[in-house]
Every structure is written in structure tokens, then in C-alpha cells.
Amino acid sequence: MADIYLDNGEIIPTMFSDITVVNGDDEILQMAIHSIRTFFGENEYHPEIGNKIYTRRLKVLDSGADTIVSDCTSAILQDDRVRSVDKMSVYYDKENKHNLEVEFTLTTSTGSVISSTVQIQI
């Protein structure tokens, strides 16, 4: 399946103003990032997808970090092309604890291993 390439939610055209398309592992990675960034229920056509982290009141320093890891993992696993999330880590900005960096590694249903980092705010 192919999708329009987005960079931080923005459509990025080619130098000839064509729409860039991603597919394969790149599209799965893009979907994983969007799943982490999407508020649960935000998509009116698919209200069952998204990340529940945005619906909770958490303190990152307490057990909230475990909840963030769990919710981000669950958000990625909503895509049936993802076999497993093998690593999920959350780091917070000491200046502003609402700014988080989520680092993850996943295995696709075809056996590819993909890693990325995404910035979120809670």
C-alpha cells in the first residue's frame, strides 16, 4: 500500500512540485509515527485508532513513563503490518517535561526491522 509522504504533518512535494509517495517499510514507519502522534479517536473515519496517551493525566517522572511506553506501543500495534514492537523508550526534556522523545524499533509482518525517533508533546 502506498501513501502520501508527510514530514511532520506537511506534504512535501518534489522539486518538480509532484506529490511524493512512500510505500513498503517507509510507509509502515510513517504510519507508526502518525499512530504515535494521533490522538485516540481524532480520525473521524477511524475513531478506533490513535494514541491514548493524549487522553490521560500523567507525570512523566512517576509511573507515567511506563504508561507512555505502553500506549505508544499499543498505537503502533494497531497496524496489522506490524508483528511486534521490540523496543520502546521515552526520554523527556529536563527543561520542559511535556516535550518527549519516543524511540522505537518494530518488526514488520514480513520480518523487516525498522527504528525511528519521534518528538511528541503531552
- For the stretch 61-108, pLDDT in tens is 656 788 899 999 999 999 999 999 999 999 888 888 788 999 999 999
How much is the mean pLDDT over the chain? 87
CA dist., res. 11 & res. 79, Å (int): 22
| Residue 72 backbone phi and psi in degrees, to 5 | -65, -40
CA dist., res. 3 & res. 108, Å (int): 17
Residues 6+ apart with CB under 8 A from 67: 53, 56, 58
Taking residues 16-27, what's their average pLDDT?
A: 83
Q: Which residue has the cell 518494530?
A: 106
| Per-residue pLDDT at 60 | 64
- pTM for this structure? 0.83
Poorest-pLDDT segment among 17-21, 44-48, 111-115: 17-21
